[in-house]
């Protein structure tokens, strides 16, 4: 698999060069590492999980280029093109495309999680783990900064309990923590990811506590 990933690396690096909203090549590499770590404990096809996690966010690049909303499904023709350049079987190719198509499902969104193959569940978990904890905090502010979204709007109430809709921007970075990131730990599919998520989630709780204390001038 290392050889296949090395073959894809130049193409992926070219595509993600200049990505400034937190979905950069380093996010792909961290997601890949997390996914492989989960695979060691949870099983599943290592090659499918590795390649799918490395190519999972190509729709973000298409969206940056076209300015139009692009779902993971819309990125499949481009992913297919890349997969044609490496030697894998048709079955492996189909499984990789499947993982990518369904990697952005959340239990707290309208459709919920609809897949049950371990490969897709692991790619979902790895991507979501990279969205929380210290890295998640950094990526949230990077993403919101890139889209001109403020860090906090105290006059806008939280929409607690509502279904999460990925298609609309939250009013501030802190709203995004509450509406999505603080719900990710409970959303993990695998036991191993649940365990890793626990300390990352706790760190975000402490961060938000500190944030509000400082905001109110209590510290």
Interacting residue ranges for Fe ion, rule: CB under 5 A: 57, 104, 127
166 vs 206, which CB is nearer to Fe ion? 166
57 vs 218, which CB is nearer to Fe ion? 57
**What residues pair up with 109 in beta bridges, in sequence order?**
164
Q: How far is the CB of 179 from Fe ion (least distance, A)?
A: 17
Q: How far is the CB of 92 from Fe ion (least distance, A)?
A: 21
Q: How far is the CB of 127 from Fe ion (least distance, A)?
A: 4
The burial class, CB within 10 Å (0-12 / 13-18 / 19+), for 172 is: middle
Q: How far is the CB of 210 from Fe ion (least distance, A)?
A: 27
Cα separation, 165 vs 137, whole angstroms: 20
Q: Which two tokens stand for residue 24?
A: 């950069």
Cα separation, 177 vs 149, whole angstroms: 13
For residue 71, what is the DSSP state? -
Could you count the other beta carbons within 10 Å of the beta carbon of residue 97? 21
Q: How far is the CB of 90 from Fe ion (least distance, A)?
A: 25
61 vs 204, which CB is nearer to Fe ion? 61
Q: Report in angstroms the alpha-carbon separations of 17 from 12, 20, 24, 26.
A: 8, 9, 7, 11
Structural contact between residues 35 and 123, judged by C-beta atoms closer than 8 angstroms: yes
Q: How far is the CB of 131 from Fe ion (least distance, A)?
A: 7
Structural contact between residues 97 and 80, judged by C-beta atoms closer than 8 angstroms: yes
119 vs 127, which CB is nearer to Fe ion? 127
63 vs 92, which CB is nearer to Fe ion? 63
Q: Tell how far CA 7 is from the center of its chain.
A: 23
42 vs 57, which CB is nearer to Fe ion? 57
């Amino acid at each position: 698999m290392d050889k296949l990933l090395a073959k894809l690396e130049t193409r992926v690096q070219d595509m993600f060069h200049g990505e400034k909203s937190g979905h950069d090549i380093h996010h792909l590499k961290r997601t890949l590492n997390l996914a492989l770590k989960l695979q060691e404990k949870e099983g599943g096809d290592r090659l499918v999980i590795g390649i799918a996690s490395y190519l999972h966010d190509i729709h973000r690049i298409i969206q940056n280029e076209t300015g139009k909303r692009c779902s993971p499904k819309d990125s499949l023709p481009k992913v297919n093109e890349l997969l044609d350049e490496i030697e894998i079987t048709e079955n492996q190719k189909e499984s990789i495309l499947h993982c990518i198509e369904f990697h952005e499902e959340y239990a707290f969104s309208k459709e919920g999680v609809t897949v049950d193959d371990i490969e897709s569940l692991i790619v979902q978990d790895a991507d979501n783990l990279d969205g929380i904890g210290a890295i998640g905090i950094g990526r949230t502010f990077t993403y919101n900064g890139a889209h001109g979204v403020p860090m906090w709007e105290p006059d806008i109430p939280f929409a607690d309990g509502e279904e999460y809709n990925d298609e609309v921007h939250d009013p501030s970075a802190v709203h995004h923590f509450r509406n999505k990131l603080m719900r990710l730990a409970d959303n993990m599919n695998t036991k191993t990811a649940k365990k890793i998520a626990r300390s990352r989630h706790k760190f975000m709780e402490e961060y938000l506590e500190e944030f509000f204390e400082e905001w109110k001038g209590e510290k």
